Amino acid sequence: MRYLGIDPGTTIIGYGIVEDVGSSLRPLTWGVFRNPGTDSVADKQATAIALADLITSYKPQSAGVERLFFMNNAKTAMAVAEMRGVIMLTLAQHGIPVVEFTPQQVKRGVCGNGQAKKPQVQDMVRMLLHIKEKISPDDAADALALALCCSTARQKY
């Protein structure tokens, strides 16, 4: 089973894919999609195409996507929500079921503590997936954490 994690953003969208191999998980790929953040239809279309290409290449069976959390800046919140909509539509078009997680659920799922700090989450992701180097940028590490949470959530079904 392969799990895709996606950390939505406006200019940087993190992704990570892990594969279930027996009793452990191994990372297949991680990184980010970047766009100029002009909030144009072309930016959204480029993200959809890049995500579709990733799905076609790795064929994940399930995806974990971060749920939009409260933001003080309404303009930023709208832009992230729109990009999240593009991501959810692309996943639906490929028949990939989605499990949504709040940031606190991801922290709890990976570290056992919903108040864990970003470096703790990153270190735990590296340890759980046996990744030696620092995962960069942070959005990619967050996406791998989402993929890990997705794998745990899917095992409960």
pLDDT of residue 70: 61
Encode pLDDT of 7-62 as tens digits.
998 889 999 999 999 888 999 999 999 988 777 888 889 999 999 999 999 999 99
Give CA torsion, residues 85, 90, 95, 97, to 10 deg: -40
- Alpha-helical (H) ranges within 8-137 are 41-58, 74-93, 103-111, 118-129
* pLDDT of res. 13: 95
Q: List the catalytic residue out of 53, 82, 100, 139.
A: 139
Task: Kindly report the average pLDDT of the chain as a whole number.
Answer: 91
* pLDDT surpasses 60 at 154: no
Query: Could you confirm whether 139 is annotated as catalytic?
Result: yes
Q: What percent of the chain has pLDDT over 90?
A: 73
Our answer to whether residue 43 is catalytic in this structure is no
pTM listed for this prediction: 0.92
**Catalytic, out of 19, 43, 53, 66:** 66
Domain containing 69 equals: 2-155
AA identity, residue 46? A
Q: Which amino acid is at 84?
A: R
Query: Could you give the number of structural domains in the chain?
Result: 1
Residue 146 is part of a domain; what is its CATH number?
A: 3.30.420.10
- The pLDDT score that the predictor gives to residue 157 is 36
